[in-house]
């Protein structure tokens, strides 16, 4: 606008001053090798003004052309952006409906023009995984990787989640290890790590992340305790498979006192030792556990123990009977141990005490066996009949 104003002023000046200097126009000579151009100063000025006007006209025309092109490009780009926004909203509705084919189709179409292109590609990859189309999954993940803007976390989390869905457990574990290096306290990373470690039986790695899971409240306390016990049991089984009874005992001794006082682990350890035919060590663990804390799971193991010193078990049971108000389980277990040693009369008394507290078909059968050994067939028949009636009564 300023340039046009200046030109307008120059034209007015020329109209006013031109006649005044009409008789003094001067002389201008432009000479080249082949041309001689002669004109007056006034003519030269007019030529310059016209040239400048031509340049301004060309500039205005080019500006209009480029502005039109930019507007056209912006219109097409905005149209694609609006279309991508509309299709993303439609894809979310289809996702709620479970139509994964339409979800992938809508999310991937014009995804480059969406507000968050990487998110569109990641959701499209998960939708393709739901359909079982691995080729499309990989294509969407590759495109999302190109658009991640230096933050690999969303892409890698999606990749690991898809690997777990495909049951590619070891690949998922490798991805989880890398994610834990980047974001060791990320809740979703910890949840994925839990799945990968459980599936690959990486029990030591699972124990290592439990403290972080507690800090960020991944799962409730009951769930974390169950995971911890599962990891300990897994390590116990690995030690038994790799090194047998001796390796299992060394592994147990290397654990902290707090760990060795966990009743669930004591029961599992005793079970493993019984499988390894190491009944003496199993008995030590059972008696040590009962001494520290009474638990019926430890009592249930006693009849399976075949040691050279069963008197310790009987003594421990009698002490518990005095301490715990004589529960049916304690009397029944004592009767089973006495049966193993041929003490039929004492065993029958123990079973009678158990049956007095609660009826049980097994106790009736064991009592009948002890009565047969004492040459009391009539009473033994009555006990078997009572046990059979109880079984029929409890059978749906």
Residue 324: domain span: 320-396
Is there a domain that residue 56 lies in?
no
Query: What is the number of residues in the chain?
Result: 396
**Whether 331 and 371 share a structural domain:** yes
Do residues 392 and 325 both lie within one domain? yes
DSSP-based three-state secondary structure for 130: helix
DSSP 160-193: HHHHHHTT-HHHHHHHHHHHHHH-TT-HHHHHHH
What is the model's pLDDT at position 127? 76
Could you tell me if residue 258 is inside a domain? yes
Q: Are residues 295 and 365 in the same domain?
A: no
For the chain, the helix, strand and coil percentages under 3-state DSSP, each to the nearest 5: 80, 0, 20
44 by DSSP, 3-state: which?
helix
pLDDT category, 125, cuts 50, 70, 90? confident
Q: Give a yes or no: residue 172 inside a domain.
A: no
Question: Do 324 and 396 fall into the same domain?
Answer: yes
258/284 same-domain check: yes
Res 199 pLDDT > 90: yes
Q: What's the pLDDT at 116?
A: 65
Taking residue 186's Cβ as centre, other Cβ atoms within 10 Å add up to 18
Structure tokens at 191: 């949840």
Final residue belonging to a domain, choices 278, 309, 340: 309
* 324 and 393 co-located in one domain: yes
CATH number at residue 343: 1.25.40.10
Question: E strands within the chain?
Answer: 28-31, 36-39
pLDDT of residue 352: 93
340 is a domain residue: yes
Q: Is 29 exposed, middle or buried (0-12, 13-18, 19+ CB in 10 A)?
A: exposed
How far apart, in whole angstroms, are the C-alpha atoms of residue 391 and residue 389?
5
| Number of domains the chain contains | 2
User: Is there a single domain that holds both residue 303 and residue 375?
Assistant: no
- Please, which residues have CB within 8 angstroms of residue 158's CB and are 6 or more apart in sequence? 122, 125, 126, 141, 144
Q: Is the model's pLDDT at 42 over the cut of 70? A: no
Segment 286-306, tens digit of pLDDT: 999 998 888 899 999 999 998
Place of tokens 């682990």: 265
pLDDT at 44 over 80: no
In a domain, 145, yes or no: no
Together in a domain, 298 and 361: no
- Tokens 């990989």 sit on residue: 138
Task: For residue 114, tell me if it sits in a domain.
Answer: no
Residue ending a domain, choose from 282, 309, 336: 309
Residue 187 lies in a domain: no
Q: Is residue 102 part of a domain?
A: no
Q: Are residues 291 and 355 in the same domain?
A: no
Q: What is the pLDDT of residue 97?
A: 60
In the chain the first and final C-alpha atoms are separated, in Å, by 100
Is residue 320 within 8 A of residue 286, CB to CB? The reply is: no
Distance of alpha carbon 148 from alpha carbon 117, whole angstroms: 9
Name the least confident of 109-113, 182-186, 311-315, 386-390.
109-113
* Mean pLDDT across the chain: 80
Q: Which of 243, 278, 309 is the last residue of a domain?
A: 309
Tens of pLDDT, residue by residue over 244-278, are: 888 888 888 888 888 888 888 999 999 999 988 88
Average pLDDT over residues 12-20: 57
Phi, psi (5° rounding) for residue 39? -160, 170
């Amino acid at each position: 606008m300023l340039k046009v104003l200046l030109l307008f002023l120059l034209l007015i000046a020329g109209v006013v001053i031109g006649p005044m200097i009409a008789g003094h126009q001067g002389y201008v000579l432009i000479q080249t090798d082949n041309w001689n151009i002669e004109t007056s100063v006034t003519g030269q000025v007019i030529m310059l003004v016209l040239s400048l006007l031509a340049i301004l006209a060309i500039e205005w025309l080019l500006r209009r052309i480029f502005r039109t092109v930019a507007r056209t490009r912006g219109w097409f780009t905005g149209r694609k952006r609006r279309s991508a926004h509309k299709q993303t909203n439609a894809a979310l509705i289809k996702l709620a409906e479970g139509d994964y084919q339409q979800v992938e189709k809508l999310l991937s179409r014009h995804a480059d023009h969406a507000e968050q292109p990487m998110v569109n590609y990641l959701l499209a990859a998960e939708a393709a995984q739901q359909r079982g189309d691995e080729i499309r999954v990989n294509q969407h993940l590759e495109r999302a990787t190109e658009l991640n803007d230096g933050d690999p976390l969303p892409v890698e989390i999606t990749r690991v989640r898809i690997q777990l869905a495909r049951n590619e457990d070891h690949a998922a574990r490798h991805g989880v290890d890398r994610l834990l290096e980047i974001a060791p306290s990320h809740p979703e990373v910890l949840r994925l790590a839990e799945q990968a470690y459980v599936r690959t039986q990486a029990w030591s790695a699972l124990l290592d992340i439990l403290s972080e899971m507690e800090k960020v409240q991944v799962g409730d306390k009951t769930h974390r305790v169950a995971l911890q016990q599962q990891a300990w049991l897994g390590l116990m089984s690995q030690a038994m498979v790799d090194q047998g009874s001796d390796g299992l005992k060394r592994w147990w001794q290397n654990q902290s006192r707090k760990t060795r006082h966990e009743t669930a682990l004591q029961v599992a350890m005793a079970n493993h030792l019984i499988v390894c035919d190491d009944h003496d060590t199993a008995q030590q663990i059972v008696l040590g556990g009962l001494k520290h804390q009474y638990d019926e799971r430890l009592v249930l193991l006693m009849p399976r123990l075949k040691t050279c010193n069963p008197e310790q078990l009987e003594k421990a049971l009698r002490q518990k009977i005095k301490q715990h108000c004589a529960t049916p389980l304690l009397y029944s277990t004592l009767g089973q141990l006495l049966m193993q040693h041929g003490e039929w009369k004492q065993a029958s008394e123990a079973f009678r005490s158990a049956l007095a507290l609660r009826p049980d078909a097994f106790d009736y059968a064991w009592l009948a066996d002890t009565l047969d050994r004492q040459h009391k067939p009539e009473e033994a028949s009555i006990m078997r009949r009572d046990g059979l009636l109880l079984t029929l009564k409890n059978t749906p």
